[in-house]
């Protein structure tokens, strides 16, 4: 709907500007940082997602997470830094490549990446919520 009302180039420029502004948010007072981050999470992250610009979406989510939940971000970031293993990703991609070739399946491109901090945080929240529901209602986990 937004694209129908405005020039697509203007929307992309506004989105790129928001990515840049989020990277330099530390210069603002804490209240403005949080307001700006909340607005970005509610408006610009879904817009980037709808436009299919996942790299900007991931950057915006991680930057918003950093400003909206600084303690969780710091804790998760330090844990991820300790467990960062590029060799693990490379070996998994190589193993998948061999398996696909052995099965005779063709593919265009194969790559691996680490999950973003915000994505890990959301997954942990969903797991805790699901676990809580199972405990409350007596389901097996």
Whether residue 70 contacts residue 37, with contact meaning beta carbons closer than 8 Å, is answered with no
Question: How does pLDDT run across 30-75, given as a tens digit for each residue?
Answer: 999 999 999 999 999 999 999 999 999 999 999 999 999 999 999 9
3-state SS of the chain: helix, strand, coil percent to 5? 80, 0, 20
SS3 state of residue 42: helix
User: Other C-beta atoms within 10 Å of 86: how many?
Assistant: 9
Question: How does pLDDT run across 59-68, given as a tens digit for each residue?
Answer: 999 999 999 9
Distance CA 77, CA 26 (A): 18
**Residue linked to tokens 């405990």:** 135
């Amino acid at each position: 709907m937004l694209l129908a009302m405005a020039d697509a180039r203007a929307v992309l420029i506004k989105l790129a500007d928001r990515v840049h502004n989020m990277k330099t948010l530390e210069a603002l007072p804490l209240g403005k940082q949080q307001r700006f981050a909340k607005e970005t999470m509610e408006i610009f992250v879904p817009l980037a997602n709808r436009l299919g610009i996942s790299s900007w979406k991931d950057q915006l989510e991680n930057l918003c997470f950093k400003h909206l939940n600084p303690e969780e971000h710091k804790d998760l970031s330090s844990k991820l830094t300790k467990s960062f293993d590029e060799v693990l990703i490379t070996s998994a991609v190589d193993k998948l490549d061999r398996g696909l070739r052995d099965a005779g399946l063709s593919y265009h491109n194969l790559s691996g990446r680490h999950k973003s901090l915000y994505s890990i945080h959301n997954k942990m929240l969903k797991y805790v919520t699901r676990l809580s529901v199972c405990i409350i209602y007596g389901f097996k986990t």
